A and B are shown apart, each in its own frame.
Chain A
Amino acid sequence: MMTQTMIAPETLEDALAAMHAEPGSMALAGGATLVAMMNAGLVEPNSLVALRHVDTLRGTRQLDDGGIELGAMRRHRETALETPFKDGQTVLSYAASQIANPTVRNMGTLGGSIAFNDPGADYPAALVAANATILIVGATGTREVSAEAFFVDWYTTALEAGELVAGVRVPAALVGSIGHYEKLARIAGDFAVASVALQVTWSGDSIAAARIAIGGSGPTPLHLAEADDMLIGTGADSDALSKAGLLLAQAADPVDDVRASADYRRKVIPRLLAKAMREIAPAREAA
């Protein structure tokens, strides 16, 4: 069968209704992933529901509590360059700015990326580190799921059939916290071999709060409260970092693939964590 129709509704309600009316239809966001998959014959949706005219999915909204909501159709470029993130929320702009290349960043969207949940993608770990929640809409209403719960397995999310990602809510980060995204890729613009997303708050010479998520090293981003705790109260000395890093490496569930071996991924997790901490040192001095 071939994809027969494409519609481009202007409201979320119409989009949901269209998805409902035609089982086997798929949402089309930036198309960076979906169109390539269709060209390769990997998926053959019988209809496409393009979200590009749904204005409510495109904007950002600043919340009174310092949180920020991003629409699902935000392009990576917009998330990277045009979103007023504060403090540790910037882990998201760092991640977005390292996705692929300018062409893909102008095309791809936040919603498309997280709905697809490629294990090498950059948003998942960053959203977990930012403690974000995913806003989901469906025929029966809306629901909110924490990023940690949203990414379920390889290419699998908490989305049910007929549901769409409406957006993401990024809570206010601690005042003075620092966000950072450390990505290791084979060449510029490739998916991550492994990545470290973090929010860290310093109090004097020691870490007051930390939230670390590992990307590219298993079916879903890896976050361990225990590893965060290992850093709290320390000065991020190499001992503390390697302890936390090792814990994360042991818990990670990477596979061998063409990007790297599982062994290598385990090996670099602590090293990338240490590198990330070194990279934020200037920001820490400035803060």
Chain B
Amino acid sequence: MSGENEAGAVGQSIPRLEVREKTTGRAQYIADMSSPGMLHGAILQSPYAHARILSYDVSEALAMPGVVDVLTGDDLGDGRMGAFIKDEHAIAKHKVRYVGEPVAAVAAETETIARRAVRLIQIEYEELAAVLTPDEGLANDAPIIHEHLDDYIKVFPAVCGGNLVSRTELSQGDLDKGFAEADFIVEGTYETPAQAHLAIEPCGALAEMDASGRVTLWSANQSVFRVQANVCESLGLPMSKLRSLTPRIGGGFGNKMEAHVQPIVVALAMRTGRPVKLILSREEDFECVRARHPMRVRCKTGVRNDGTLVARDVEVLLDCGAYGDDSPGVLGYSLLMARGPYNIPNVRSVGRLVYTNKMRFGAFRGFGSPKVNFAGETQIDEIAEHLDMDPIDLRLKNIVATGDTWMGGSVLASCGLRECIDAAREASNWDQRDLPQTPGKRRGMGVACAAHISGLLGTGAIVRVLEDGSVALNTGAVDIGQGSDTVLTQMCAEALQVPVDGVSVASPDTDGSPYNWGTTASRVTYTTGRAVVGAAAEVERQLRDHAAEMMECSQEDLELRPGGLIGIKGVPGKQVSFHEISLRAHWRAGGPIVGHHTWVFDQPTIDPKRAVAHGLPFPQIGVYSFAAFVVEVEVDEASGKADVTRAWMAVDVGRAINPGSVEGQMEGGFVQGMGFALTEEMVWDDARLINPSLLDYKVPTTLDTPHELHTIIIEAAEPDGPFGAKGVGEIGLVPVPAAIANAITDACNIRLTTLPMKPERVLNAMEQAAHGS
């Protein structure tokens, strides 16, 4: 349908709608906002990993000139929030559970005063023994981090107790039989570290109470609705009393999906009756927002001599940190991804999530998948080496295809994985590769495949036709910088055959937007896109009703024409415009045109005839995008430093609504995956995070990005996707660590099982290999 349509419609790489605003520096982010009479907030962070709070003395802080309020856990009720387990207060209460946890907050006339005043707060603690690793947390005599875990509200059938937050198991086939059939079994343990999201914008919020006691809250977020839910749950407010809005967002990657300082800021605004803004420093953002989980994966894969994968057993141990947050979801999702995109008949994946006295870990681009992918995809290469098969051929022999089932039993309605592999293979010249050799360096190539979901949870869209025929779109989906405002507008424009600039897109607002669970899980293009298409269809139906009456013809004779027109088929001059129709609707007949569509993803994750699941937190999830990446690395023999020199990424996105944006997501995901693979790791000395700064924590920059980063878009249309589209937000990251690891193996004949693959690890392994031979 595209191509012949108006400029900007589906399939075209139009620039972001807000490009001017952002490139000229006029976009308003949370830190840019202010309100008359506004106070500034600051937090005091816990110095202890685990301690009982015995008393507070806030008198000195309150006495400081310019200080208006001091907030502690004693000032708030027992309300608790949490996406899966309601285990977290707005601010530490009774206990602190990690170093850096907000334990008190100040509202003052200036930020400087607020930051100085928090240092004057005296808190008496009774230090408790701390749990710093999941293994410690599972020990029989472990100190208990949440004594009331059993009583907490849980939104899924959690198998929990002690410090165990959740145990989840997923299995299909007969594992013992599978391994008995195997001719070769590879086994390994893989460790991956905490990774910081490092959105360029640190978290912050601004809240303001009106005369009726109702609060308006602006914050850096990935879902105005999750913000509303978290604030209301933790502060005991009815949702009707809180309006949640969003300024522009400077990136998310998962860390702005659930609460950060919003509940604290709302509490301060309600207590003082004045607007309060609080922006975390980079260090605070590192220490108390959230990060990717440290994870240990034990993986075992069985194969027959002909290369048929027959069994896989995966065991995952996830460090939850001090609060549940999105962790049960991450655990369940990693288990769902543990089989990989292969038709392995006998699989078991089981995982445990354990509280520790560290910052909470939560959602991060990939949602647990990059870690199991690292384990699984490096094992595929080990098997290929053992069988003396090309790693790509081995994959091709086992991959899923359209009509096959995913782990758990949901059917794949579209799958372009084979096309992805073929494209990456060809573009990288894999079969005839002749890598340039530089003295002192070793080059190698590696491959890895991945899949990622696009469909889960609820969303909606409202489409209205304004008096002049312009179209107003409102979805409640927060554009966190990834471009959903543009893409959803393109879809709306395409569906109604109007130009993109004939469509306005509303900023999400809990007062006026339809519910959207959030900009997360690669879901907005697919799920919200479907809502947009549904709402536009409803609008089209109303437009046609009017047109049929206006032109006195039957519905079947009508067609939508580009430019906001409905005409009579076969009669070129005979048409009415949206403008004319809308005037009629507004002033004479039918009423203003409003179409809406809401839906919730309802395809079951598990087909009970095929699989068994215990403790799975999401019963309905699905719609898969696929990827195959080939990566070339160069390893410096002197230092062991591995650099990615070239990469080819092929991703099946169903349909690229905006190819430029799709490529941007692939490239951004790649570089973030490269950081996870090679340089990024949050490091704790005992309980204290020792690298909470950009000086000490290193993400790759443009200077580290390979000059050759090739993106290849594959379009295996999803039958019920909007214009066939699926998600692309996360998949660009998922296979990167494994592909780089496989390339390092190819270059140096070493196999690393711990991330990041920093120079020290590579060099030590190279030395061991040299001594071993």
Contact = CB atoms under 8 A, between A and B. Distances in A.
B639 A272 contact: yes
A144 interface: no
Contacts of B703: 101, 187-189
A66 B679 CA distance: 43
A271 B639 contact: yes
B760 A2 contact: no
A82 to B, nearest CB: 22
Interface in B667-699: 679, 683, 690-691, 693, 695-699
B639 A184 contact: yes
Contact of A258 (B636, B683, B699, B701): B683
Interface in B627-645: 636-639, 641
Interface in A30-71: 40-41
Which has the most chain B C-beta neighbours within 10 Å: A187, A188, A259? A187
Interface string A246-277: 00000000000011110010011001101100
A229 interface: no
B283 A258 contact: no
B698 A267 contact: no
B749 interface: no
Contacts of A101: 701, 703
A189 B704 CA distance: 9
A143 interface: no
A275 B636 CA distance: 10
A278 interface: yes
B564 interface: no
A190 interface: yes
Interface string B757-772: 0111001000000000
B244 to A, nearest CB: 30
B112 interface: yes
Contact of A268 (B690, B691, B700, B763): B763
A62 B746 CA distance: 52
Q: How many of chain B's residues touch chain A, expressed as a range?
A: 20 to 34
Contacts of A260: 758-760
Contacts of A186: 679, 698, 758-759
Contact of B763 (A40, A258, A264): A264
A271 B283 contact: no
Given A101-B701, A258-B696, A264 B283 contact: no
Nearest to A194: B639
Interface in A171-205: 184, 186-191, 193
A215 to B, nearest CB: 14
B440 A268 contact: no
B759 A187 contact: no
Contacts of B699: 187
Nearest to A120: B695
B65 interface: no
Contact of B690 (A2, A41, A258, A264): A258
Nearest to B115: A41
A184 B704 contact: no
B3 interface: no
Contacts of A41: 115
B763 to A, nearest CB: 7
Contact of A264 (B636, B679, B693, B760): B760
Contacts, number: 59
A268 B638 contact: yes
A21 B31 CA distance: 38
B439 interface: yes
Contacts of B704: 187-188
Contacts of A267: 763
A187 B679 contact: yes
Report whether over half of chain B's contact residues are helix, strand or loop; otherwise say mixed: loop
Nearest to B703: A188
Which has the most chain B C-beta neighbours within 10 Å: A184, A258, A264, A278? A258
A267 B641 CA distance: 13
B638 A187 contact: no
Nearest to A40: B283
A283 B80 CA distance: 67
Which has the most chain B C-beta neighbours within 10 Å: A186, A191, A261, A274? A186
A267 B640 CA distance: 11
Interface in A60-109: 101
A274 B638 contact: yes
Contacts of A259: 696
B638 A272 contact: yes
Contacts of A191: 695
A25 to B, nearest CB: 20
Contacts of B698: 186-187, 190
B759 A258 contact: no
A260 B664 CA distance: 32
Contacts of A272: 638-639
Nearest to B690: A258
A40 B696 CA distance: 14
Nearest to A2: B112
A271 B637 CA distance: 9
Contact of B440 (A2, A190, A278): A278
A261 B701 CA distance: 23
Contacts of B439: 278
A184 B704 CA distance: 14
B701 A188 contact: yes
B701 A189 contact: yes
Nearest to A184: B639
Contacts of A274: 638
B700 A184 contact: no
Interface string B634-666: 001111010000000000000000000000000
A261 B639 CA distance: 13
A36 B607 CA distance: 56
A23 B636 CA distance: 49
Which has the most chain A C-beta neighbours within 10 Å: B637, B679, B759, B763? B759
Given A184-B639, A186-B698, A258 B691 contact: yes
Which has the most chain A C-beta neighbours within 10 Å: B115, B637, B696, B700? B696
A258 B115 CA distance: 27
Nearest to B281: A40
Interface string B430-456: 000000000110000000000000000
Contacts of A40: 283, 693
Contacts of B115: 41
Interface string B87-125: 000000000000000000000000010010000000000
Contacts of B641: 184
Contacts of B636: 275
A267 B768 CA distance: 14
Interface in A220-262: 258-261
A275 B638 contact: yes
B283 A187 contact: no
B760 A271 contact: no
A128 to B, nearest CB: 21
A264 B112 CA distance: 42
Contacts of A184: 638-639, 641, 759
A33 to B, nearest CB: 10
A138 B364 CA distance: 54
A191 B638 CA distance: 18
B284 to A, nearest CB: 11
Contacts of A278: 439-440
Interface in B53-83: none
A82 B431 CA distance: 47
B763 A187 contact: no
Question: 8 tightest CB-CB pairs across the interface, nearest first?
Answer: A188-B703, A275-B638, A271-B638, A264-B760, A258-B691, A258-B696, A186-B698, A187-B698
Given A193-B759, A275-B639, 5 more contacts: A40-B283, A187-B679, A190-B698, A268-B759, A274-B638
28 contacts: A40-B693, A41-B115, A101-B701, A101-B703, A184-B639, A184-B759, A186-B758, A186-B759, A187-B700, A187-B701, A187-B703, A188-B704, A189-B703, A193-B759, A258-B683, A258-B690, A258-B691, A258-B697, A260-B759, A261-B760, A271-B637, A271-B639, A272-B638, A272-B639, A275-B638, A275-B639, A278-B439, A278-B440
